[in-house]
A and B are shown apart, each in its own frame.
Chain A
């Protein structure tokens, strides 16, 4: 059993083999969001704050925060974004950048134990990111590619993940703090990408005994009804042993799939979360009665 503890100043979230699947909200990311990028660059964080609140309300337990804006001060903007998000919500954050200075600035601004997103199997990345993870005693997303690219051979990707876990250990970082991203490829371009992802997730869990995450929406690139396909992928991936995903909780299909997977995998005691999300409100019940019932259940 593997647990990865994340925290903010006042809340803890555990990604783990026996835990409910953790949704890491992906919305705070200016890539492909022109308006958000312009606002963040200009120091207007109102949309960031609204996105944070909406995702938490929709069921995100962790929020990914990315400030990858072309020609902007990414470290400065990322640090400020983190401060703003932590001021409006208490969920732990995933600090997301491919720029080492931005990761460092984000860590300095963060209160609690974040997920650092990410390190790859490239030597330069390992040498620069792992010391940061070690210094701040946080968790890290490990992406299973190296200098040679993203292998289509899942054995190669497994070996890259294994190498990252070993190198992390050299820096005193336990495997439980390494959350591996097996890299989900678009099934529209590579037809067995879904099957391969499942196989790799299973091996990462049983052999490497690590938690896993992924950018789930990549699976449906170039296809219609992306949210529907993303949801099916997430449910199957959870079934194969994936323990978290960076995705959009505002899509009903995504939340339906994850909540359903939690029920099916026995991670939703008494199906409480499922009922809470989908119970048809009783038109005859007064507000008072609803309140009494929820009070009693929580006790």
Chain B
């Protein structure tokens, strides 16, 4: 950024590898216009949209996620990076839909009933999108029915619930028990988070994992979704 020449950098002059590298840097620096341009250049060179997403955007956001987790990047920088990612996704999303490319995974996320906190949930949503997940954010103050409706409509692999109050966090258990009663609990990887929670609480309410921050949520989601897919593939073979 301190290099004055960066301002004059013509992305079209870079070969594919250098351009992808530059896009990782631009994501890191939260440069939305440059990401938009880079995505268009790669598509113009005949890259399939899912390759642009994976190699240029998701790999770039992985670095952002790691540096955020390690305290090298801070919230405003992560928000800017997510915003740049969003600019790239705006170009890619219609093309991805056309080609029928599958996202890394899908997540429904929302803050539980009685709780109106959303900054942590929003950060998780953005980092998950950055990792290539499709995120459906159902907002704050969600009764069980909202979760059921969203799960039914969007058929995600992951359900994420957030709570910031000791009074509202037990509601996670209500949601999970309802899913159990309906016999659909095991259809989803359930992740929970929020300041007053801990691992023990996550286990007690029957979640698959408690995630203490946004970067952990992404890592955990990737790991558990992969494990779940492997398990169901295995089952399909022996079943």
Across the interface, B200 reaches (CB within 8 A) one of A31, A71, A99, namely A71
Is B204 at the interface (CB under 8 A from chain A)? yes
Neighbouring A residues of B81 by C-beta, 8 Å:
none
Give the B interface residue count (CB, 8 A).
Answer: 26
Closest to A74 in B: B166
Closest to B166 in A: A68
Across the interface, A222 reaches (CB within 8 A) one of B74, B140, B201, namely B74
B198, A222: Cβ atoms under 8 Å? no
A70, B166: Cβ atoms under 8 Å? yes
Neighbouring A residues of B197 by C-beta, 8 Å:
70
Assuming the contacts A71-B201, A99-B167, A145-B116, asked whether A31 and B75 have C-beta atoms less than 8 A apart, the reply is: no
B74, A149: Cβ atoms under 8 Å? no
Across the interface, B75 reaches (CB within 8 A) one of A34, A148, A223, namely A223
Assuming the contacts A189-B79, A223-B75, asked whether A149 and B118 have C-beta atoms less than 8 A apart, the reply is: yes
Is B169 at the interface (CB under 8 A from chain A)? yes
Neighbouring B residues of A68 by C-beta, 8 Å:
166, 196
Chain A's nearest CB lies how many Å from the CB of B67? 13
Report the separation of the CA atoms of residues A182 and B79 in the bound assembly, to the nearest whole angstrom.
25
A149, B119: Cβ atoms under 8 Å? no
A223, B76: Cβ atoms under 8 Å? yes
Neighbouring B residues of A71 by C-beta, 8 Å:
200-201, 204
Is A188 at the interface (CB under 8 A from chain B)? yes
A70, B74: Cβ atoms under 8 Å? no
Report the separation of the CA atoms of residues A125 and B205 in the bound assembly, to the nearest whole angstrom.
25
A98, B195: Cβ atoms under 8 Å? no
B79, A98: Cβ atoms under 8 Å? no
Assuming the contacts A70-B196, A98-B165, A223-B76, asked whether A149 and B141 have C-beta atoms less than 8 A apart, the reply is: yes
Is A280 at the interface (CB under 8 A from chain B)? no
Neighbouring B residues of A99 by C-beta, 8 Å:
166-167
B165, A70: Cβ atoms under 8 Å? no
Assuming the contacts A145-B116, A149-B118, asked whether A188 and B140 have C-beta atoms less than 8 A apart, the reply is: no
* Interface class of chain A by DSSP: loop
Chain A's nearest CB lies how many Å from the CB of B118? 7
Closest to A32 in B: B195
Q: Would you give the 0/1 interface string for B70-84, flagging 1 where the beta carbon is closer than 8 Å to chain A? A: 010011101100000
Closest to B196 in A: A31
Neighbouring B residues of A186 by C-beta, 8 Å:
75, 119
Q: Which of B34-82 contact A (CB under 8 A)?
A: 71, 74-76, 78-79
Is A147 at the interface (CB under 8 A from chain B)? yes
Chain A's nearest CB lies how many Å from the CB of B126? 11
A222, B75: Cβ atoms under 8 Å? yes
Report the separation of the CA atoms of residues A147 and B204 in the bound assembly, to the nearest whole angstrom.
28
Give the interface of A toward B (CB within 8 A): 31-32, 34, 37, 68-71, 74, 97-99, 145, 147-150, 185-186, 188-189, 191, 221-224
Counting from the closest, the 10 A-B pairs by CB-CB distance are A222-B75, A70-B201, A68-B166, A149-B116, A188-B75, A98-B167, A98-B165, A188-B76, A31-B196, A223-B74
8 other A-B residue contacts (CB within 8 Å) besides A70-B169, A189-B75, A189-B123: A69-B166, A99-B166, A145-B116, A147-B141, A149-B118, A188-B79, A221-B75, A222-B74
Q: Give 25 CB contacts A-B under 8 Å.
A: A34-B198, A68-B166, A69-B166, A70-B166, A70-B196, A70-B201, A70-B204, A71-B200, A71-B201, A71-B204, A98-B165, A98-B166, A98-B168, A185-B119, A186-B75, A188-B75, A188-B76, A189-B75, A189-B79, A189-B119, A191-B76, A222-B74, A223-B74, A223-B75, A224-B74
